[in-house]
Amino acid sequence: MDTAVVAQYSKSDFAGDVRAGLLRPGQKELPSKYLYDEVGSALFEAISVLPEYGLTRADERLLRRHARDIVSRIKTQVLVAEMGSGSGKKTRWILEALARRQRTTYCPIEISPTALARCQTELGQIEYVSIVGFERPYLDGLLAAASGRREHEHLLVLFLGSTIGNFDRDAGERFLTEVRRILYPGDALLLGTDLEKPLPQLLAAYNDSIGVTAAFNLNLLARINRELGANFDFAAFRHEARYNPSERRVEMHLRSMCDQTVTIARAECTVSFAKDETIWTESSHKYRAEEIPAMARRNGYCCDSQWMDSEWPFAESLLIAQ
Q: Per-residue pLDDT tens for 199-254?
A: 999 999 999 999 999 999 999 999 999 999 999 999 999 999 999 999 999 999 99
Per residue in 257-298, pLDDT (tens digit) is: 999 999 999 999 999 999 999 999 999 999 999 999 999 999
| Helical ranges in 183-312 per DSSP H | 199-205, 212-228, 291-298
Name the pTM for this structure. Answer: 0.91
Ordered by where they begin, the domains of the chain are: 1-222+287-322 (3.40.50.150)
Query: Is beta strand 78-83 parallel, antiparallel or unpaired with respect to 104-110?
Result: parallel
With the C-alpha atoms ordered 162, 166, 168, 173, is the resulting torsion angle positive or negative?
negative
Contact present, 202 and 286 (Cβ < 8 Å) = yes
Cross-strand partners of 191: 159, 317
Cα(125)–Cα(138) distance, rounded to whole angstroms? 25
